[in-house]
C-alpha cells in the first residue's frame, strides 16, 4: 500500500491545482482497494500487486475485515474496464525490533526460515553466522504479517519462492502465507503491522521500506542473488529496476522478484494506479485522466522519491502516460 501520508499529500497538491475536482479514494490494501473500485465506492485504487494477481486469487472485500472465513460470501473482483498504470517502484523492507541490535544481516536461508517457522530464535546459528560480533539474544522471534489481500504478501512470498529452495511455501499469494509459523500475529494493513512491531521486542515483519525510513525503524540488510547484504536505499532500488528497464518483456514489470545486480536490493514491488478505462460519467472520467497524469508528473515523482520510493525509468513513465491518456 502507498503510505497514507504520501498519497494524501498527492491528493492535496492535485486538489489545490484543481479546486473544482472531487475524487474519492480509500487507502486500504491492494485487494480491498480494487474491489472498492469495482463496487463504485471509490474512483480509483492504488495497488502494490499486479491486477492479474488480485483477480486470479479472488481478492474480496473481506480482505478489509481480517476474516478470511468470509471470502466465499463476498463478490470477486473482475477485470472488465480496468486499467493498471505503473506509477512508482518500492522496496519491501524487513522491519525488526530487537533491543540493542541496530544492524542485522539476514541470509536467504535465514529469511525463509524465519517466515516458515523453522528458525524460531534470534540466536539461531544461521543468523549468528551472518552477524559476527553481534550479541544476539535467545529470544523467541515474533513474526507479524498481513492478514489482508496485499501486495506486501505477494512481494514477500514471490521472492521467497523465487530465491530460496529451502522455503516451505508452495505458491506466491496476495493472501497471508500458509507457511507462516502458527504463532505469527496477522494484522490488516501496514500501519497496524508497524504499530505491533514497534510494541514487541523480538518482532519482525514486512512493509514498504518507506515506513522504516520515515519512522526510524531498523530494517535488515538482505542477501541478494550475488551473495551481498544490501539495505533498502535509493541506489539499491534503482539497481534492481534497471533489470526491468533493460528487458523487452512487458511482463518483466511484474516479475522483478530476485534481481541479479550485485548492488540490487532483492525484494522489489511496483505500485499501480488502478482506474476504470471508461467511467459512467464524462466528468469523472476527465477528472481521473487529469489525476493520473498528475500522479505521473515530475512534482509527484520528486515527492515519492523523497519518501523512499524509486522513480520509474523514463521509458516506463512515457508508456504509463500514454495509458493514462486513454481514461475517459
- Strand, helix or coil at 202? coil
Residues 151 and 166 occupy one common structural domain: yes
Of 236, 254, 282, the domain-final residue: 236
pLDDT value, residue 127: 98
Residues 125 and 81 occupy one common structural domain: no
Each residue of 99-130: pLDDT tens digit? 999 999 999 999 999 999 999 999 999 999 99
DSSP 264: -
Q: Is residue 219 part of a domain?
A: yes
Residues 157 and 216 occupy one common structural domain: yes
Distance CA 21, CA 306 (A): 26
Q: Is residue 243 part of a domain?
A: no
Say if residue 6's pLDDT is above 90. Answer: no
CATH number, domain containing residue 297: 3.40.190.10
10-38 mean pLDDT: 84
Distance CA 228, CA 130 (A): 11
**Structural domains counted in the chain:** 2
Each residue of 160-211: pLDDT tens digit? 888 766 566 667 788 888 889 999 999 998 889 999 999 999 999 999 998 8
Q: Is residue 107 part of a domain?
A: yes
Residues 124 and 63 occupy one common structural domain: no
Which long-range contacts does 187-192 make (Cβ < 8 Å, 24+ apart)?
A: 187/66, 187/144, 187/145, 187/146, 187/147, 188/29, 188/63, 188/64, 188/65, 188/66, 188/146, 188/147, 188/148, 189/1, 189/28, 189/29, 189/146, 189/148, 190/1, 190/3, 190/146, 190/150, 190/152, 191/4
Of 236, 253, 286, the domain-final residue: 236
Q: Is residue 154 part of a domain?
A: yes
Residues 210 and 110 occupy one common structural domain: yes
Distance CA 44, CA 26 (A): 9
DSSP 253: G
Q: Is residue 254 part of a domain?
A: no
Distance CA 131, CA 129 (A): 6
Residues 183 and 197 occupy one common structural domain: yes
Residues 29 and 124 occupy one common structural domain: no
- Comparing 123-127, 149-153, 285-289, which segment has the lowest mean pLDDT? 149-153
Q: Is residue 249 part of a domain?
A: no
Residues 216 and 95 occupy one common structural domain: yes
Residues 277 and 315 occupy one common structural domain: yes
Of 183, 215, 236, the domain-final residue: 236
Residues 50 and 113 occupy one common structural domain: no
**Secondary structure, 3-state, 146-190:** ECCCCHHHHHHHHHHHHHCCCCCCCCCCCCCCCCCCCCCEEECCH
Structural domain containing residue 128: 91-236
Residues 123 and 210 occupy one common structural domain: yes
> How many CB atoms are closer than 10 A to CB 46?
24
Q: Is residue 126 part of a domain?
A: yes
Nearest to 204 by CA among 190, 216, 193: 193
User: Whole-prediction pTM value?
Assistant: 0.84
Residues 131 and 172 occupy one common structural domain: yes
Say if residue 276's pLDDT is above 80. Answer: yes
Instruction: Report the half-sphere exposure of 100 (CA within 13 A, side-chain side).
Output: 7
Each residue of 239-265: pLDDT tens digit? 988 866 666 554 455 557 788 889 999
Distance CA 222, CA 98 (A): 16
Q: Is residue 261 part of a domain?
A: no
222-239 mean pLDDT: 94
Query: Strands 268-276, 185-187: parallel, antiparallel or unpaired by DSSP?
Result: unpaired
Amino acid at each position: 500500500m502507498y503510505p497514507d501520508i504520501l498519497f494524501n499529500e498527492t491528493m492535496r497538491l492535485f486538489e489545490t491545482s484543481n479546486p473544482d475536482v472531487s475524487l474519492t479514494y480509500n487507502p486500504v490494501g491492494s485487494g480491498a482497494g480494487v474491489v472498492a473500485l469495482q463496487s463504485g465506492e471509490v474512483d480509483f485504487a492504488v495497488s502494490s500487486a499486479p491486477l492479474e494477481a488480485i483477480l486470479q486469487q479472488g481478492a474480496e472485500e473481506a480482505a478489509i475485515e481480517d476474516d478470511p472465513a468470509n471470502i466465499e460470501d463476498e463478490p470477486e473482483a473482475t477485470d472488465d474496464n480496468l486499467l493498471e498504470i505503473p506509477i512508482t517502484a518500492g522496496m519491501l523492507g524487513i522491519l525488526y525490533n530487537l533491543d540493542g541490535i541496530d544492524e542485522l544481516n539476514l541470509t536467504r536461508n535465514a529469511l525463509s526460515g524465519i517466515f516458515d517457522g523453522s528458525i524460531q530464535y534470534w540466536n539461531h546459528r544461521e543468523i549468528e553466522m551472518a552477524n559476527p560480533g553481534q550479541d544476539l539474544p535467545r529470544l523467541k522471534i515474533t513474526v507479524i504479517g498481513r492478514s489482508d489481500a496485499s501486495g506486501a504478501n505477494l512481494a514477500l512470498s514471490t521472492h521467497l519462492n523465487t530465491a530460496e529452495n529451502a522455503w516451505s511455501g508452495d505458491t506466491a499469494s496476495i493472501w497471508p502465507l500458509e507457511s507462516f509459523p502458527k504463532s505469527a500475529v496477522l494484522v490488516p494493513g501496514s500501519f497496524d503491522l508497524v504499530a505491533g512491531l514497534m510494541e514487541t521486542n523480538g518482532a519482525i515483519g514486512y512493509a514498504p521500506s518507506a515506513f522504516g525510513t520515515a519512522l526510524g525503524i531498523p530494517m535488515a540488510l538482505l542477501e541478494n542473488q550475488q551473495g551481498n547484504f544490501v539495505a533498502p536505499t535509493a541506489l539499491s532500488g534503482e539497481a534492481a529496476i534497471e533489470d526491468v528497464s533493460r528487458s523487452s518483456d512487458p511482463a518483466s514489470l511484474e516479475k522483478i522478484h530476485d534481481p541479479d545486480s550485485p548492488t540490487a536490493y532483492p525484494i522489489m514491488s511496483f505500485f499501480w494506479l488502478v482506474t476504470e478505462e471508461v467511467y459512467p460519467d464524462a466528468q469523472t472520467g476527465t477528472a481521473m485522466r487529469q489525476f493520473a497524469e498528475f500522479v505521473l508528473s515530475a512534482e509527484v515523482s520528486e515527492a515519492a522519491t523523497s519518501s523512499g520510493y524509486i522513480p520509474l525509468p523514463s521509458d516506463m513513465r512515457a508508456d504509463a502516460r500514454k495509458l493514462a491518456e486513454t481514461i475517459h
